[in-house]
Amino acid sequence: MRDCGGKGPDPRGGERVGEMRATIRDVAREAGVSVATVSRVLNDSGPVREETRRRIREIAQRMRYTPNLAAQSLTTARTSTLGVLLPDLFGEFYSEVIRGIDQTAQQSGYHVLVSSSHNDRAEIEGSLRAMRGRVDGLVVMSPDLDAVSLSSNLPERLPVVLLNCEVDDLSYDSINIDNYGGAYSMTEHLTRMGHRRVGLIKGSERNLDARERARGYRQALEDAGVAVVAAYEVAGDFGDRSGYLAAEALLALDERPTAIFASNDSMAIGAISALREAGVSVPEDVAVVGFDDIPIARYLSPPLSTVRVSISQLGERATRKLLDAIARKNQHEKSQEVLPTELVVRGSCGAARA
Amino acid sequence: MRDCGGKGPDPRGGERVGEMRATIRDVAREAGVSVATVSRVLNDSGPVREETRRRIREIAQRMRYTPNLAAQSLTTARTSTLGVLLPDLFGEFYSEVIRGIDQTAQQSGYHVLVSSSHNDRAEIEGSLRAMRGRVDGLVVMSPDLDAVSLSSNLPERLPVVLLNCEVDDLSYDSINIDNYGGAYSMTEHLTRMGHRRVGLIKGSERNLDARERARGYRQALEDAGVAVVAAYEVAGDFGDRSGYLAAEALLALDERPTAIFASNDSMAIGAISALREAGVSVPEDVAVVGFDDIPIARYLSPPLSTVRVSISQLGERATRKLLDAIARKNQHEKSQEVLPTELVVRGSCGAARA
DNA sequence: TTGTAGGCGTTATCAG
DNA sequence: CTGATAACGCCTACAA
């Protein structure tokens, strides 16, 4: 009677075409022990005689046994996988973030499931649901997401870390770049050098980083007693081309600015290109600065003054936070971190020669 | 007797702390049908009365039911996940590749598991093994991998597509960039413009792309009747800084080259920076060209002449190939593709003004 | 120290 | 058309 499942067709026959992967049962049979013992050895759970232990290890290796992770995660309810949700995968920025995340995850034996190219909320919500059950935790980086659509599309207890999101809900762990502070000190640097007409090339209005940087710029001007004039703020979208166009617009003004603050390095590069074509020299005629400190910034001519952000560190910190949340089963005090930035003065703002 | 498993503790009790996700059984119970019927409805497998079908759909939605993917993949032996193995995640290049892969994968309902930062073979082999059972197929991009260590660390029948790998084993699907051809036509362009002393900033000797580009450079020189001189080939590593240093070295030569071919755009940028600092003007004194056509190339001053590679297309093609291999259970003729490149002439080689 | 067997959530194969 | 139930591969009480 104990053989209550023995009536169907016998699946043990070797009729499969290719080699099937060895299962824990194969290893057990080969070693002349039960699957329980093998499992105990492989997971270091429970006591096993030393000799048996060695023998099983040896056999498992020889048979190239690797546990079936689907089965494993079915019983343990863990997947050893971290999900990463990204808005769009352009440029060097995201590649750095992923690198930071992946490295940290790997160190702790986790895998990284990436999902990118989400521009509207519907897409994000879809991916959020698709991640369900596939991951033990989530790093979400999305300007367009609010707390409501987040919580309503996520399993209750799934740990989440928000990266550069606008959700100011204190019940989520989050990490943000100090965009405001960075933009503030860069603008301050410019005013201290005597610039009173400082143009700003903005990022997309939808983008939180962009808005925060603009805010820092305005506040710094105000604090320096410089009027904030709308005409000096030109739209951009973080792409090189938009920086080019924006610079052209600024040059066309009656009172052309003496300095241009591009909200990121890519746009600064576009701007410099436009200035050069217009016969305006940098930094003599117009100073140009950026934000991010992408690797090539220092090799531009003139070398670009900018605000440094440690992007891969951003990913690393987020991952550590997430792993911690997982370990504590999400039953912990959530916290909001802000990653500092650093002013990098090179030649393009005209100060390095001083 | 059919109830051979009913003696253990009843796990149906709602003693769990948090809300557990609804299972197919919950839906079945709620709808007053069997799990089989629910499964049939959700997978469109087998016939179900239309009314029942609608009711089940409605209930499943209301209960926010999503199938447990671990269970699903345990029974179906499919994971709906594609693995991507990358050597190292620096720069814009990989971010583009991932984007191409992810987009294509998503369209077909697949997820992407990324594993990066592998520099030596041991690391790669480890990741290869770790991917086992988690993915339905693999995109591998690794200069350091040979066919042997590949096949010996991979399940026999797992579909694999090689990206820019050196494995010339015809039993693998592969896609490569036409590095040789691109470098050839760029060098040819230079010689046609009259350059006889063309310096080359090489990439790492370990990197296949780098070696192929060097090969194209040499062949083009030969075919143009220009002697290939070793002193004009300087080492680099694809990083901006190495381009800077290499250019310094080239400038120090007795007979300095009149043109410099950097094996990628990053190094070209570094080189231009070095030339400018040395008071050498580009392209008047020395022409400089690159390879890749990264987005900012056109915004440099002068705009960089380079060889265009459609990187995201590379990822897309690889993914399509992989999905195809999966659909055909890897029982198909493997094929090797070469992605063409395109010469992009801008200002830095001095030809645009002609 | 070791073995037995139930259960994780699905799918799929049978009978009805 | 629908229901019962054997796998899938693993972990883990509970027994021995």
Over the stretch B222-277, which tens digit does the pLDDT of each residue have? 999 999 999 999 999 988 899 999 999 999 999 999 999 999 999 999 999 999 99
| Cα–Cα distance measured from residue B305 to residue B182, given in angstroms and rounded to the nearest whole number | 12
Query: Which tokens is A302 given?
Result: 């003139």
Output helix, strand, coil percentages for chain B, rounded to the nearest 5. Answer: 45, 15, 45
B18–A157 CB contact, under 8 Å: yes
- Restricting to A residues 212-231, those with a Cβ less than 8 Å away from any Cβ of B are none
Q: Is B336 on the interface with A (CB under 8 A)?
A: no
- Residues 25-44/A with CB < 7 A to strand C: 32-37, 40
Confidence of residue B6 (pLDDT cuts 50, 70, 90): very low
| Cα–Cα distance measured from residue A137 to residue A100, given in angstroms and rounded to the nearest whole number | 16
Q: Which residues of A are less than 8 Å from B99 in CB distance? A: 89-90, 116-117
Share of chain B above pLDDT 90, in %: 61
Query: Which tokens is A125 given?
Result: 């919500």
Lowest mean pLDDT among A233-247, B120-134, B277-291, B328-342: B120-134
B273–A95 CB contact, under 8 Å: no
* Tens digit of pLDDT at every position of chain A (354 positions): 333 333 333 333 333 333 567 899 999 999 999 999 999 999 998 899 999 999 999 999 999 888 988 999 989 888 999 999 987 756 677 878 888 999 999 999 899 999 886 767 777 878 887 887 889 999 998 766 666 677 777 777 789 999 888 777 888 999 999 999 999 999 999 999 999 999 999 998 888 889 999 999 999 999 999 999 999 999 999 888 999 999 999 999 999 999 999 999 999 999 999 999 999 999 999 999 999 998 888 888 889 999 999 888 899 999 999 999 999 888 899 999 999 999 999 999 987 543
| Cα–Cα distance measured from residue B345 to residue A286, given in angstroms and rounded to the nearest whole number | 29
Best probe of the A interface among B80, B114, B128, B294, by most A CBs < 10 A, is B114
Query: A137-172 burial, b if ≥16 CB within 10 A, otherwise e?
Result: bbbbbbbbbeeeebeebbbeebbbbbbbbbbebeeb
Q: Find the angle CA(B333)-CA(B336)-CA(B339) to the nearest 5 degrees.
A: 140
Q: What is the pLDDT at residue A278?
A: 95
Query: Which tokens is B131 given?
Result: 């991917």
Q: What does the mean pLDDT of chain B come to?
A: 87
Q: Is A6 left (phi over 0), alpha (psi -120 to 50) or beta?
A: alpha
Q: Find the angle CA(B29)-CA(B34)-CA(B36) to the nearest 5 degrees.
A: 135
Q: Which nucleotide is nearest to A5 (CA to C1')?
A: D6
Q: Tell me the pLDDT tens digit for each residue of B10-48.
A: 333 333 334 567 899 999 999 999 999 999 999 998 899
Q: Are A196 and A258 in contact (CB under 8 A)?
A: yes
A198-201 vs A259-262, strand pairing mode: parallel
Q: What is the pLDDT at residue A6?
A: 33
Q: Are B144 and B179 in contact (CB under 8 A)?
A: no
With a 7 Å cutoff on the CB, does B28 touch strand C?
no
Structure-model confidence comparison of residues B299 and A304, the more confident one: A304
Q: Is B115 on the interface with A (CB under 8 A)?
A: yes
Give me the half-sphere count of Cα atoms (radius 13 Å) on the Cβ side of residue A347.
13
- Tell me the whole-structure pTM to 2 decimals: 0.84
Whole-number distance in Å between B114 CA and D10 C1': 25
Q: What is the pLDDT at residue A90?
A: 64
A with B: how many residue pairs have Cβ under 8 Å apart? 168
Q: What is the pLDDT at residue A215?
A: 98
A269–B300 CB contact, under 8 Å: yes
Query: Minimal CA–CA distance to B306: which of B316, B314, B296?
Result: B296
Q: Tell me the pLDDT tens digit for each residue of B79-131.
A: 999 999 987 756 677 878 888 999 999 989 899 999 886 777 777 878 887 88
Report chain C positions within 7 A of protein CB atoms: 1-14
Q: Which nucleotide is nearest to B40 (CA to C1')?
A: C11
Q: Are B151 and B158 in contact (CB under 8 A)?
A: no
Report chain D positions within 7 A of protein CB atoms: 1-14
User: Closest-CA residue in chain B for A109?
Assistant: B130
Question: Residue A80 in 3-state DSSP?
Answer: coil
Cis upstream peptide for B302 (omega within 30°) = yes
Q: Which residues of B are less than 8 Å from A129 in CB distance? A: 66
Q: Which nucleotide is nearest to B48 (CA to C1')?
A: D1
Q: Which residues of B are less than 8 Å from A89 in CB distance? A: 95-96, 98-99, 102
User: Closest-CA residue in chain B for A113?
Assistant: B113
- Restricting to B residues 247-276, those with a Cβ less than 8 Å away from any Cβ of A are 266, 269-270, 272-273, 276
Alpha helix segments (H runs only) across A200-333: 208-223, 240-251, 265-277, 311-327
Best probe of the A interface among B80, B92, B299, by most A CBs < 10 A, is B299
Return all residues near B88 (Cβ < 8 A) that are at least 6 apart.
B94, B116, B117, B118, B119
Q: What is the pLDDT at residue A57?
A: 93
Q: What is the pLDDT at residue B86?
A: 87
Q: Which residues of B are less than 8 Å from A270 in CB distance? A: 299
Whole-number distance in Å between B133 CA and C1 C1': 32
Q: What is the pLDDT at residue B144?
A: 65
Q: What is the pLDDT at residue A116?
A: 82
User: Closest-CA residue in chain A for B95?
Assistant: A95
| Cα–Cα distance measured from residue A249 to residue A20, given in angstroms and rounded to the nearest whole number | 65
Q: Which residues of B are less than 8 Å from A1 in CB distance? A: 1, 4
Return all residues near A10 (Cβ < 8 A) that are at least 6 apart.
none
Query: Minimal CA–CA distance to B148: which of B130, B132, B124, B131?
Result: B124
B66–A129 CB contact, under 8 Å: yes
Confidence of residue B352 (pLDDT cuts 50, 70, 90): low
Q: What is the pLDDT at residue B206?
A: 81
| Cα–Cα distance measured from residue A188 to residue A197, given in angstroms and rounded to the nearest whole number | 12
| Cα–Cα distance measured from residue A22 to residue A128, given in angstroms and rounded to the nearest whole number | 34
| Cα–Cα distance measured from residue B118 to residue B94, given in angstroms and rounded to the nearest whole number | 13
- Restricting to B residues 167-186, those with a Cβ less than 8 Å away from any Cβ of A are none
Q: Is B107 on the interface with A (CB under 8 A)?
A: no
Query: Minimal CA–CA distance to B181: which of B354, B342, B3?
Result: B342
Q: Are A152 and A189 in contact (CB under 8 A)?
A: no
